[in-house]
Structure formats: structure tokens, C-alpha cells
Amino acid sequence: MIFLNTVFLGSGGFSRDLLDELLRSGFEISAVFTRPDHPAGRGLHRRPTPVKAFAKLRGLRVFQPDGPRDPLFTASLGEVKPELMLVADYGYLLPARILGYTAKGCLNVHPSLLPRYRGAAPIQRALMRGEAVTGVSLMVMDEGMDTGDVIAVRELAIADSDSALTLRRKLATLGAGLLLETLPPFLAGDIPPVPQDEAMATYADPIRKEDTVIDWTRTAADIHNQVRALSPRPGAYTLLRGKRVKVLRTLPRPDVAAGIPGELLPEGKEGVAVGTGGGALQLLEVQPEGKKAMSAGEFRRGYRPARGEVFLAPGEAGTN
């Protein structure tokens, strides 16, 4: 293990899980930089980032400048005087003066096989597009969006049962292991960074509101990928009886007659499948509006959907 004065820059769930894995492995973090608290929920109360909430629990020193151009950013670095900066899912691009601040550099752990899925939502977009393999990349940061030279990568097979949450945790564990294994030889000059192949670059756009609406005319496989990419949050949703129903876990069922798109197909005593534009989709877990998440069996017993009843998209139901 190499002991350096290291600051960690992160904000979202992936960076929270990565920080947890690094601390569990004995990696020492001098301070954490994260985005400012942000308004959320119906009351728009200001909430900490996942990284801040976790770092406070672990007793770490936390700084929340309003981006790298905030004078507080440089002043805070001046207090800590780090030798190395680790960045993951921070939410800001860093200018050259910050990237060159530390003697050992600024490294990024990115949850994709760069140059594929650069950008804001690499885990969700890989699931949404039905990828069979993803991974993590350790990169020397530059001023671009995930465009720096790559030090090392490690691949991971995506299980059909993976959601954004389970895959995020797997990639954080993988990323921490890759960093711990690669950092000593990199700092010793034994691993030269390799430029990314721009011709192979793809981008993972942020998740938009329209990405969360289920279109039942798509195939069962496509909807299954959408559901697991957005589970548990923000969740893919549909409408039943004018109320939202988040669909959290599903299973394509090629053995079940599909019905019309959106048609609920009660099966046996517990099961509920739904017709799509290509095959049927079994519901495993849902969350009706105002309720806790529940199994398909609980949903069926509580809502008693009749055969022929259909899930609707917002436009079809006359709502927005």
C-alpha cells in the first residue's frame, strides 16, 4: 500500500460505493470534495450528496465548493495540500490549473470501458442498450469529458438480473480493486497511459424524464432493459387507473402469449405478465403511487387487475 495525502472528489452513488470500498481496503483519504447540498423532494429541502452523507458518517473532512471555479475550491485544496486527487462521478469538469495542482496527478475511476459510454450515465445507458459486458477504466484526467489517457481497464459481465443498483456496486468493488492494484506501478512509472481511440467513443447522456416512461409497444427485452437500467431510482413507470406504477423488476416471458401492448395477463394465483410489442413481460416487483415497493403477488392481491385491463402511457391516459 502506498500512503499519500489523497483527496477524493465525488458526489453520486457510484462514488459513494467506491469511497466505501477504498476505506474498507485501508486506503487513507485526507478529505472529500463533493457538490453542495441540493433541494430535493416535494418540500425541496436541501439534501446532502450520497458521498457527503457517507463521508460524514466515517468522520472524513468534507468540502463543498460550488464547482472548481469557486474560490473556496482552491482555498480548500490549500488547506489540505494533497499529493493525489481521485475523482469519480463528481459532476464537474476540472480546469487545467486544478488538474495540475497535485504532484502525483489527478486520476479518475470511470464505470465503463472507455472510450465507450463517456458521460453522465454510463451504467444506466449500458443496461438500457442491453450490453453483455461493461467494466471500469482508470484514467489520467484532462479537461475533456472522460477523454484522458487510460492507465488500466477491467471488464465485467452484466448479468440479466443486474439492475443499476447491483451493477453500480459491482463496478465500485471492481474499480477499487483496479485502483489499488494499479496505483503503485503507475506511480513508479511502470504503466504508461494510453490515449483513447476517438473513433470508438460513445456517449451516455443523462437520464431524462422521457426515458422513464414505459412504451408497451416496444419489445419485452427492450422494456426489461429499461426497467433494470432505472431501478430502483428514478424507476420506469406506467399508468393504471390514472395512477403511476413504477415497475422495478421484470422477466421476459417468451413462453406466455403476448396479448396486446400493455394488457395485464394474470397468471396462476400470484403472477402477472404484461403484453408488449414483442413477447410478454413478467412483473416481479412494482411500486404503485403512494405505496411501498411490493411483489407482483402482493400487487395482484391488492389491485385485482382483470384480464384485458391495460397499462397506459401518460398521453394515452390523458395526463402528463
**Predicted local confidence at residue 85, as pLDDT:** 97
**Is 251 a residue whose pLDDT tops 60?**
yes
* Tens-place pLDDT, residues 71-87: 999 999 999 999 999 99
β pairing state of 203-204 and 118-119: parallel
**Predicted local confidence at residue 216, as pLDDT:** 95
Q: How many other C-beta atoms can be found within 10 angstroms of the C-beta atom of residue 37?
A: 14
Q: What is the pTM of this model?
A: 0.93
- More confident call, 51 vs 4: 51
β pairing state of 62-63 and 31-33: parallel
**Interacting residues of 248 by C-beta distance below 8 A, sequence separation 6+:** 227, 231, 232, 235, 284, 285, 286, 287, 293
Residue 211 contacts residue 129 (beta carbons within 8 Å): no
* Tens-place pLDDT, residues 124-165: 999 999 999 999 999 999 999 999 999 999 999 999 999 999
- More confident call, 307 vs 288: 288
* Tens-place pLDDT, residues 15-45: 999 999 999 999 999 999 999 998 776 677 8
Q: Which band of pLDDT confidence, cut at 50, 70 and 90, is reported for residue 2?
A: low
Looking at every residue in the chain, the average pLDDT score rounds to 93
Q: Which band of pLDDT confidence, cut at 50, 70 and 90, is reported for residue 306?
A: confident
> E strands of the chain, at which residues?
6-10, 31-33, 38-40, 45-47, 62-63, 84-88, 106-110, 118-119, 133-140, 150-157, 203-204, 236-240, 243-253, 264-267, 271-275, 280-288, 294-295
Question: What mean pLDDT is predicted for residues 277-291?
Answer: 95
**Is 230 a residue whose pLDDT tops 70?**
yes
* Tens-place pLDDT, residues 155-197: 999 999 999 999 999 999 999 999 999 999 999 999 999 999 9
What whole-number percentage of the chain has pLDDT above 70?
A: 98
Q: Which residue has the cell 483519504?
A: 29
- Give me the amino acid identity at 239: L
**Is 318 a residue whose pLDDT tops 60?**
no
**Is 320 a residue whose pLDDT tops 50?**
no
